[in-house]
Amino acid sequence: MQQIINFIIRNKNFLLFFLLFCISLVFTIQSHSYHKSKFINSANFLTGGVYNSANNISRYFNLKSQNQLLAEENRRLRSLLSNARISTDSVYIDSTSFNKSYTFYNANIIKNSYSLSDNILTINKGKNDSIKQDFGVISSKGIIGIIDKTSNNFATVLSVLNTTSRISAQLKKSNHFGTLSWNAKSPDFVQLTDIPKVAKVKVGDTIITSGRSSIFPKNIGVGIIKSFQLDAAENYYEIDVKLFNDMTNLEHVYIIENVNKQEITNLEDE
């Protein structure tokens, strides 16, 4: 203890300077949006680089499992080329309807969380790759989340396993749609609410994106119904949906840009 006290006494001028410097830096960042933006971009660049390096090492030691994933991906892509549609565990996406309205980008997940209440992923694409906030993120099996923040070379994704996530989804066999959210209990299940009780709901039914937003096109796979019940007022169903994606084992993703999003947003804001 005495050594610590002596160290502080000997270096009190430097320590005082460093403390005041940190305080002034915080005030500068908080009070100027330009400096705040630069600081966030720099922090994202540094942390993104660390995660990317760690992910490259992890991928090297998991080549066998990654090769299996790539083989599955190639199978699905061959199906896309031959049939003009891609199978997502019994959900089929008509790719021809996407050509004019949507642009797809490839990316890899370099950091994934799924055990928190508000989970965030990091991908290795950013502003330099034309990635922007509110782009959709999917895998070959189904939805993963929505782009939240971007730096020059990386982006964070608001996972479907995030209590603030809200995505429009519907029953595949009808046009009854509701809101997809997460109750923070299991990484395998999300919850679909606001489905009216007039809808015919069965365990095993498929849930897809509804296309009623400017983020995801219609028919992206979500999962299958595991269980359901009426809400307290007995007007709407509360549905547990088992995700097609294993959110604990993600690697290759697709980022979806709705090229008409700005026009739609401007029209809706008028």
CA 162 to chain centre: 9
d(CA 152, CA 66): 27
pTM exceeding 0.75? no
The number of folded domains in the chain is 1
In a domain, 197, yes or no: yes
d(CA 64, CA 70): 10
Task: Please provide the DSSP assignment of 100-146 as one string.
Answer: TTEEEEEEEEEE---SSSEEEEEES--GGGT--TT-EEE-SSSEEEE
Q: CA of 205: how far to CAs of 34, 68, 117, 225, in Å?
A: 49, 28, 27, 5
| Sequence-ordered list of residues with C-beta below 8 angstroms from that of 265, at least 6 positions apart, any chain | 214
Task: Judge contact between 138 and 151, C-beta under 8 A.
Answer: no
Tell me: pLDDT of 21 over 80: no
Confidence of residue 269 (pLDDT cuts 50, 70, 90): confident
Q: What is the CATH number of the domain that holds 219?
A: 2.40.10.350
Task: Judge contact between 124 and 112, C-beta under 8 A.
Answer: no
Task: Judge contact between 204 and 237, C-beta under 8 A.
Answer: no
Half-sphere exposure of 179 (CA within 13 A, CB side): 10
In a domain, 139, yes or no: no
Task: Judge contact between 95 and 78, C-beta under 8 A.
Answer: no
Radius of gyration of the chain (CA): 23
Tell me the per-residue pLDDT of 185-215, one tens digit each, with 9 for 90 and over.
999 999 999 999 999 999 999 999 999 999 9
In a domain, 211, yes or no: yes
In a domain, 14, yes or no: no
pLDDT at position 84, please? 45
Ranking 1-5, 46-50, 136-140 by mean pLDDT, the lowest is 46-50
Range of the domain at 227: 167-243
In a domain, 187, yes or no: yes
pLDDT at position 44, please? 58
pLDDT at position 75, please? 52
Tell me: pLDDT of 162 over 90: yes
In a domain, 1, yes or no: no
Q: CA of 200: how far to CAs of 77, 176, 268, in Å?
A: 33, 9, 32
In a domain, 69, yes or no: no
Confidence of residue 98 (pLDDT cuts 50, 70, 90): low
pLDDT at position 28, please? 60
Ranking 35-44, 81-90, 185-194, 214-223 by mean pLDDT, the lowest is 81-90
In a domain, 254, yes or no: no
pLDDT at position 18, please? 76
Confidence of residue 93 (pLDDT cuts 50, 70, 90): very low
